[in-house]
Structure 1
């Protein structure tokens, strides 16, 4: 039974001068505008029959510049199955934190932000039929292209605004695919927007390069001894062999096994920040109905989900999204729970999970699309060593010139004396090494992340 029908573009206009504290319900969604708060719009797009994608747009909130003078950023979260409208919004770059307090480092100071819960089934997005979950990057990209086509058609005020795709973790893999297809669509004229480039943050571009670097990285930071390094290296070789044989589902299982080996040898290091420790927990209700998944990894599957998606759906955020936020949005169908389908999203992508997309980055660079890579120094799951490894595999003709350039130290402000990051760029490719940050760079180093945003979007050098 369908819970939500697709909706047409709204046929209405509004004057900002008439807003005090007003809630306006349109066919496309809900608009909320309050004094000294950013203008917001949200809604659903049916990207395929019975597959509904939720989006949430905040207009830039800068005291001296109108939103038309600032870029638009699409934020893609990782997982797959983690919610950008939830985690990215309230834990990283949105106007409020999960305590509903203003965030000093919100990206709305420098851009409008478009959060999307993708793939379908993530966050408030949902499918009416379990056969409709995306199972590969091709479907994820296809769904996002439908969404972007509808968005720019229904929001013509953003068609000429510089548009960037920022991402994190598995969202970077999705961002690369979406960026390439969007570039093609803009060239063909099928989507009208001012696409300016993509930023891949701690991104799952080459899973094997990440896995192969785990042992050396942990060893160099005194988190593995010789015996532990040997064990991690052995399981990494198993993963490499599976990938070389195109056994990607097996590679995903072995990837989970490798993380278990690391946890045993490091006393449960946190994969998202090596300076912290985390003991994984498997909730009993998540062990039930495992037979519903197409890719059943038994207990391993649940632990993988818990570690990489469940972490972003912790109790306090879950309560916020299914409580006050749900009431505020007013359009979430009764049958939809925030994050309720996220484990199925994760498991349905298992066969695709370990496939690399280095070739897509090469195609973006060849098309002269601006590509930025940024990475947190303390990240393990997508450590910087692994990122640098796949970059060395690029076929981009200017790679040697990029590699020969010396990086430049960055500071959060002219008054600061502490190095916050290093940066290097050549032509349409750039890299940011963000210090003292883990996997979620904006959450760990908000000021530097905001500075990076301004540099990438050419508001600051």
Structure 2
């Protein structure tokens, strides 16, 4: 048994080494492509709208990829790149320095990274009319891509297929999952859809905003006066959402963030134990490219400063905070340098992340629309739904997630609530708790300790363990 384990470990490191060498020599890159360990392509999902995907076949040394699940990862933003951030910063085989990642999910699943909505990452549009403006379009586009993928790669049609997501990717994952379920029932897409995982997800930001004040106050990051200010603007946000004034709610959301930033001395919305990057540094390093496709929008390489007045200034500020952190300088240089050269199919005039600001702003009217009803429909259809959240996240804090969960009309919710959670440990020899979990029928909730918004980045071992539990491998 011990010999078998050692052989598996040696094979695993050899496989990881082959990935690493694939970036250092052209012949090695072709070798991995010929071996079928990685494939990638574009799918034209609509006229002038082209979506990029990148697949890694599972590298478990003891099992064939067909014995393991296929996981599709969806990033947030909207405008965050799965093939970039999710791949190199969170769960892919290599990090941004092209070093092997010990906690890569590739050990236990094939990984499909998709740059969505169109315009994200290496995905691109030829005209601004092609940007998605709502969740329905996002889901519809993904149906075109998934149909193309499973039709062309029949070896994955019977493999358990899971969608994992993060942040706004969670809202997109919910909408995509419901449309995928329908497509499978109608027979238009052939795949073994087995569940969706919503990580720190944007299901109902109204509930999150309402909980920001109490959460920060309980963590000694707001005083009484600050709590009152945050609570007041939060009520305005929720009122606008309840009335269906979603664009107004988006602007109020931006103001709420500014009030919190002022009262907390710049708390980081993605991990409350750290501070946000100073605005001056953000502005100086900002690399968003405001495309000249749209008349009336800035046509310089830099976005307007955060002090810009009016609705556009608020949008830019939101865009900087919620997309910029997914496009760090090191990652941008990697994606537009060695990775673009490796992939070979990226059009010469397309830069990774260059259209992301448009993706974000085009979805403005969709930001604050709750998607609780979609989760209800998934549960009613029998789809396995997992919700997981980082303890230190603010933008989509756990209190807010628990709050919208209680709004579900799922008949089994009361029984779910009656259950006691179970402690989880990444190290069986340690008494340190890594997470808690509660599961009833087709709903599961994971409380991930010591993690912020990006759970796999902050707590890689626990994220890997969770993925294995969700995909029934542990």
TM-score (norm 2): 0.88
C-alpha change, 1:22 and 1:341, in structure 2 (3 Å) is closer
How much does 1:436 deviate?
Answer: 0.1
The equivalent residue for 2:9 is none
How much does 1:299 deviate?
Answer: 2.3
The equivalent residue for 1:298 is 312
How much does 1:298 deviate?
Answer: 2.7
How much does 1:244 deviate?
Answer: 1.9
**Conserved 8 A contact 1:282-1:303:** no
Question: Aligned partners of 2:105, 2:36: CA distance in 1, in Å?
Answer: 12
How do 1:27-176 and structure 2 match up within 5 A? 32-34=30-32, 39-176=37-174
Structure 1: tracts of 5 or more residues without a match? 1-18, 24-30
The equivalent residue for 2:409 is 395
C-alpha change, 1:158 and 1:333, in structure 2 (3 Å) is same
The equivalent residue for 1:212 is 210
C-alpha change, 1:375 and 1:38, in structure 2 (3 Å) is farther
How much does 1:297 deviate?
Answer: 2.5
**Conserved 8 A contact 2:288-2:356:** no
How much does 1:33 deviate?
Answer: 4.2
Residue 315 (str. 1) matches residue 329 (str. 2): yes
Query: In the alignment, which of 372, 378, 386 is matched to residue 358 of structure 1?
Result: 372
**Conserved 8 A contact 2:288-2:353:** no
Residue 330 (str. 1) matches residue 344 (str. 2): yes
**Conserved 8 A contact 1:94-1:103:** yes
> What per-residue deviation string (whole Å, max 9, x for no partner) do you get for residues 50-96 of structure 1?
10000000000101011000000000000000000000000000000
**Conserved 8 A contact 1:242-1:251:** yes
How much does 1:292 deviate?
Answer: 2.1
The equivalent residue for 1:459 is 473
Residue 194 (str. 1) matches residue 161 (str. 2): no
Question: Aligned partners of 2:289, 2:471: CA distance in 1, in Å?
Answer: 44
SS at match of 2:432: coil
Q: How many residues align?
A: 435
How much does 1:38 deviate?
Answer: 8.2
**Conserved 8 A contact 1:76-1:116:** yes
How much does 1:32 deviate?
Answer: 4.9
SS at match of 2:238: helix
Question: Aligned partners of 1:163, 1:391: CA distance in 2, in Å?
Answer: 24
Question: Aligned partners of 1:423, 1:316: CA distance in 2, in Å?
Answer: 35
Residue 423 (str. 1) matches residue 421 (str. 2): no
Structure 2: tracts of 5 or more residues without a match? 1-17, 24-28, 299-309
Larger helix fraction of residues: 2
**Conserved 8 A contact 2:289-2:355:** no
Question: Aligned partners of 1:321, 1:327: CA distance in 2, in Å?
Answer: 9
The equivalent residue for 1:232 is 230
How much does 1:34 deviate?
Answer: 3.5
C-alpha change, 1:32 and 1:235, in structure 2 (3 Å) is farther
**Conserved 8 A contact 1:51-1:120:** yes
C-alpha change, 1:234 and 1:242, in structure 2 (3 Å) is same
How much does 1:235 deviate?
Answer: 0.7
SS at match of 2:272: strand
**Conserved 8 A contact 2:48-2:127:** yes
C-alpha change, 1:291 and 1:254, in structure 2 (3 Å) is farther
How much does 1:245 deviate?
Answer: 1.8
Question: Aligned partners of 2:348, 2:101: CA distance in 1, in Å?
Answer: 30
Residue 373 (str. 1) matches residue 371 (str. 2): no
> What per-residue deviation string (whole Å, max 9, x for no partner) do you get for residues 143-179 of structure 1?
0000000000001000000000000000000000010
Question: Aligned partners of 2:413, 2:242: CA distance in 1, in Å?
Answer: 25
TM-score (norm 1): 0.91
